[in-house]
Chains A and B, each alone.
Chain A
């Protein structure tokens, strides 16, 4: 069964969460960078795995749809 999605604030996303992008793609967060491009109001999620590397910036405070499979 597919895990349910939930909406959290951008700064509450954790490593291990799968972020659903507007494009429909998913990004599995393996790292969260602060101050994207030097802007403290932005963070960036990074998926850095053997299979692929992707980066997705987000405004702090924005709503983000995620799938969370790790316990709270």
Chain B
């Protein structure tokens, strides 16, 4: 029997539901460079939304998108309903990038999106659990997870911007 090489799949080859409960349109995201970020509304890092939205505006036309993933696993800092989260993001930060429904990113109930992402190491060689809110994973248009940035790394840090610009389609 001849074995076939496994087809290359992207972490985005999963079903994702948008914050409003509708299926998230993944076709466009799969052709883009995507920065996946687990977000929370009541975290000391929540102001990172401002820089994430600036990245979105700066690179969207070039084939880039932030994908926000609300998550309540870190000190319960994302307790709101989908409507509350959406309103907070729009009213406070004017966000335009897509948000998924609230997901688990760690543990046995972890969403399949994060099965792949958490297997990728950061710049210190550490893979595994998401550390805290606002951890960032960069997926290339080819579906490779090319970088992982821990929560304290600002979205507009040189290393993040350079990584994004390297993988723009």
Contact = CB atoms under 8 A, between A and B. Distances in A.
Given A37-B131, A37-B152, A52 B107 contact: yes
Interface string B54-82: 00000000000000000001111001000
Contacts of B75: 21, 54-57
A52 B109 contact: yes
A45 to B, nearest CB: 10
Contacts of A50: 108
What does DSSP make chain B's interface, helix, strand, loop or mixed? Answer: loop
B97 interface: no
A37 B108 contact: no
B97 to A, nearest CB: 25
Interface string B126-144: 0000011000000000000
Interface string A56-68: 1100000000000
Contacts of B152: 37
Contacts of A57: 75, 132
A37 to B, nearest CB: 6
Nearest to B76: A23
A55 B43 CA distance: 13
A53 B73 contact: yes
A53 B104 contact: yes
B109 A25 contact: no
A55 B107 CA distance: 11
Top 10 closest A-B pairs, CB basis? A53-B107, A53-B106, A50-B108, A56-B75, A55-B74, A54-B73, A23-B76, A53-B73, A48-B107, A25-B76
